[in-house]
């Protein structure tokens, strides 16, 4: 999942596996965990989406039910690992309590993924040390760094040799146009 925008995809897969494929919750959730990885691009609060429980209930009621189920089992795990630490459990809940309940989509992404990726080593360390500190402690080794991406020019060269040859015919040696962005 590239940031939190597609986070509901993990719950859609869970829904399909349970409702259509008739898998048990435990088996379906294992598939979800093996399927998804979450890449976080920013620590800015405005980019860490929180979806209104009221809106989700109106538009995607089954998905909201499943989010609550995921959260229930996650909270049970937290309670057994951190007995009596209600503050930590509340901080890690997928549901942000308050006058308007919200689903913390970044937390949902973490809980439904096998790994979490920061986009640079320093960014990954910031995730571990700040906004996802509790999750890093709970899921040791889950938050990893794999610098993303490949330059578009190298991608063209490797994936489309004919286009690469055409570009080389027009602008010069392949080694030059791949590395010289000017």
Q: How many domains does the chain have?
A: 2
The least confident of 42-46, 66-70, 112-116 is: 42-46
Tell me how far apart the terminal alpha carbons of the chain are, to the nearest angstrom.
Answer: 32
Summarised one tens digit per residue, pLDDT across range 1-40 is: 988 989 999 999 999 999 999 999 999 999 999 999 999 9
Structure-model confidence comparison of residues 176 and 19, the more confident one? 19
DSSP assignments along the chain, one per residue:
-BSSTTTHHHHHHHHIIIIIS---HHHHHHHHHHH--EEE----GGGS-EEEHHHHHHH-HHHHHHHHHHHHHHHHHHHHHSTT-HHHHHHH-SEE-SSS-EEEHHHHHHHT-S-EEESSHHHHHHHHHTTTHHHHHHSTT-EEE------HHHHHHHH-HHHHHHHHHHH--HHHHHH---
Residue 94 and residue 176 in one domain? no
Asked if pLDDT for residue 150 goes beyond 70, the answer is no
Q: Kindly state the percentage of the chain with pLDDT values over 70.
A: 96
Pairing of strands 50-52, 95-96: unpaired
Residue 1 lies in a domain: no
Average model confidence (pLDDT) across the chain:
93
Residue 162 and residue 140 in one domain? no
CA distances from 94 to 7, 54, 72 (A): 12, 15, 9
Residue 135 and residue 154 in one domain? no
Asked if pLDDT for residue 98 goes beyond 80, the answer is yes
Domain containing residue 175: 150-182
Asked if pLDDT for residue 132 goes beyond 70, the answer is yes
Confidence at residue 70, expressed as pLDDT on a 0 to 100 scale: 98
Residue 121 and residue 45 in one domain? yes
Residue 20 lies in a domain: yes
Confidence at residue 46, expressed as pLDDT on a 0 to 100 scale: 78
Query: Band of the pLDDT at 181, cuts 50, 70, 90?
Result: low
Structure-model confidence comparison of residues 2 and 152, the more confident one? 2
Task: State the maximum Cα–Cα separation within the chain, in Å, rounded to a whole number.
Answer: 69
What's the rounded mean pLDDT across residues 155-166?
87
pTM exceeds 0.75 for this model: yes
Residue 41 and residue 116 in one domain? yes
């Amino acid at each position: 999942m590239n940031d939190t925008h597609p986070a509901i995809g993990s719950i859609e897969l869970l829904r399909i596996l349970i409702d259509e494929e008739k898998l048990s919750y435990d088996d379906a959730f294992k598939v979800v965990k093996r399927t998804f990885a979450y890449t976080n691009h920013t620590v800015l609060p405005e980019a860490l989406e929180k979806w209104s429980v009221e809106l989700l209930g109106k538009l995607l009621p089954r998905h909201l039910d499943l989010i609550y189920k995921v959260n229930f089992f996650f909270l049970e795990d937290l309670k057994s690992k951190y007995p009596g630490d209600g503050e930590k459990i509340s901080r890690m809940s997928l549901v942000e309590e308050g006058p308007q309940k919200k689903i913390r989509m970044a937390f949902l992404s973490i809980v439904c993924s096998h790994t979490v990726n920061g986009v640079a080593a320093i960014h990954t360390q910031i995730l571990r040390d700040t906004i996802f500190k509790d999750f890093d402690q709970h899921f040791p080794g889950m938050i990893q760094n794999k610098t993303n991406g490949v330059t578009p020019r190298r991608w063209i060269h490797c994936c489309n040799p004919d286009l690469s040859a055409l570009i080389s015919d027009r602008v010069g040696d392949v080694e030059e146009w791949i590395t010289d962005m000017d």
